[in-house]
Chain A
Amino acid sequence: MKERNDLRTLTKAIFRDKILAAEAVHLINTCWNLLRKNGIDEVKIMNFCGTHEYTTSHYGIRNLLPAWVEIIPGPGCPVCITPSYYVESAVKLALEGVVIYTYGDAYRLPAVRPVNRCRSLADARVLGADVRVVYSFLDAIVDAAKHSMPSAFFGVGFETTYPAYASAIVNARIPQKLSLITAGRLTPPAARYSVERVGHVSGVIAPGHVSTIIGAKPWAFLTEEFNIPTVVAGFEPIDILIAILIILRQLLERKAWLTIEYSRTVSWEGNLKARNLIDRAFDTVDAAWRGIGFIENSGYKLREGFNQYDAFTTYGLSEPTVNEWKHDLLPGCLCGQVIIGKVKPTECKMFMKQCTPATPYGPCMVSYEGACSIWARHGGRKTLAAVA
């Protein structure tokens, strides 16, 4: 009997293969030449997800593409878009003696208004606060069960992350003194917001792992209402190249379809069990995005029956309403426009001057999925003049 392939190693072998990548690039160039002949002289493709931006930059995909096929990073970095008041609340709790659990990138996320001179959880830890970096909510649950101190989990994330919180809440796995700072956001409303404001977007590469949960269908509005070719793609370099090819072909045929390139794990309906868990634990509400403001139905909030897990209720904190929300970026920071793809990281005057990965000034320079941080570490693309 043939032994089953190891899909972990196979993914790297196939989807990072130089020869197959060259075949895809060849077809992209062919398609681009035909587009030029049809009078199209510029293509802007938005990759929604921070991990797509990482793959695009890390593997130098921009430099493999024709000069006027541009890839612009979108709002898919949950740490970048987490409003400052969540950071301020977490820092405040940490300084008051609450154990704060957080992911590594949220640990360094700076707030606009410092609390006791602390802008981030990293600063609070320097002052002696108990801030613990964990890989997952499950790790926090295991750790919190070992002590009796009040603790809170800084719950940033998109639809991919929220099933973990929902599963623990619905299955009553959370230790008594652990609560959740619910800062989760939904991606399709932000995609709508971005394409409405960024101007001309020729195609969208939709987030693959978010779509394992929500399915591909929620992205249909991009093709149906905006006539933008949309591809739900995987995260290997050849996944991105194939997605670009699919978009260029649709532009050539002057059509816009929703396509699943990442069919090895994404379906049209998504993960029904995970969606059900989220629905049982969370409501969808209008919510603020950092540097942007409120977007309709774009945030998670714990349902009434689960208030005992809500850190804001437990510690008497309040979230600002639409009227109370204040712009939450430091002066001169362009992250609000970088997030929606309106401005490139390199167009910000602070990029790699005051704002570097070691000394982040804005939120997009903190997370490994932030466009500024990725461009700082891996570069964007050569200038048009250089490649023309």
Chain B
Amino acid sequence: MCLGVYGKVLEVKGDLATVDFGGGLVKNAFVGVEEVAVNDYVVVHAGIIVSKLNEAEFTAAFNYLEEAAKQLPTETTEPDEYILRTRKRLETLLGVNTDMK
């Protein structure tokens, strides 16, 4: 039961918040985190906000790929080339997302 759905907070009233899950689905949820504000992105599990999404850490997981590329000798790709390729792809995806709005 680790199923969590990402949503955007539309309104907060005491221990309840209204969350937009996208696709026209809007539901109320208990506020289970210390502080939550309108426009925050949150993880909702079975009717409670269990966590907020940290935008600064959003692509941090890809640092592990870069780290691995630097330290693992590969026969086919130079580490720098690999890292550049991954970063470019990430930037493209981030850009596409912004353009879509």
Contact = CB atoms under 8 A, between A and B. Distances in A.
B98 A160 contact: no
A108 interface: no
Nearest to B90: A14
A7 B6 contact: yes
A274 B33 contact: yes
A207 interface: yes
Given A10-B58, A27-B69, A209 B101 contact: no
Nearest to B51: A212
B64 A246 contact: yes
A227 interface: no
Contact of B53 (A7, A78, A261): A7
A210 interface: yes
A322 interface: no
Interface residues of A, number: 74
Contacts of A138: 28-30, 47-48
A92 B98 CA distance: 54
Interface string B4-35: 10111000000100000110000111111110
Nearest to B72: A30
Given A4-B39, A5-B97, A273-B32, A242 B50 contact: no
Given A13-B96, A163-B32, A235-B4, A136 B48 contact: yes
Given A31-B68, A160-B45, A209-B3, A261 B61 contact: yes
Nearest to A52: B2
21 contacts: A2-B98, A5-B98, A7-B53, A9-B97, A13-B96, A14-B58, A20-B89, A78-B1, A136-B46, A137-B46, A138-B29, A156-B1, A164-B32, A173-B15, A238-B61, A264-B58, A265-B53, A266-B51, A271-B32, A273-B33, A369-B3
Interface of A: 2-11, 13-14, 17, 19-20, 23-24, 26-27, 30-31, 34, 49-52, 76-79, 103, 135-139, 156-158, 160-161, 163-164, 167-168, 171, 173, 207-210, 212-213, 234-235, 238-239, 242, 245-246, 249, 259, 261-266, 271-274, 277, 369
Interface of B: 1-4, 6-8, 15, 21-22, 27-34, 39, 41, 43, 45-48, 50-55, 57-62, 64-65, 68-69, 71-74, 76-77, 82, 85-86, 89-90, 93-94, 96-98, 100-101
Given A136-B47, A238-B61, A271-B34, 8 more contacts: A7-B6, A13-B96, A13-B97, A30-B72, A160-B45, A249-B68, A265-B51, A369-B1
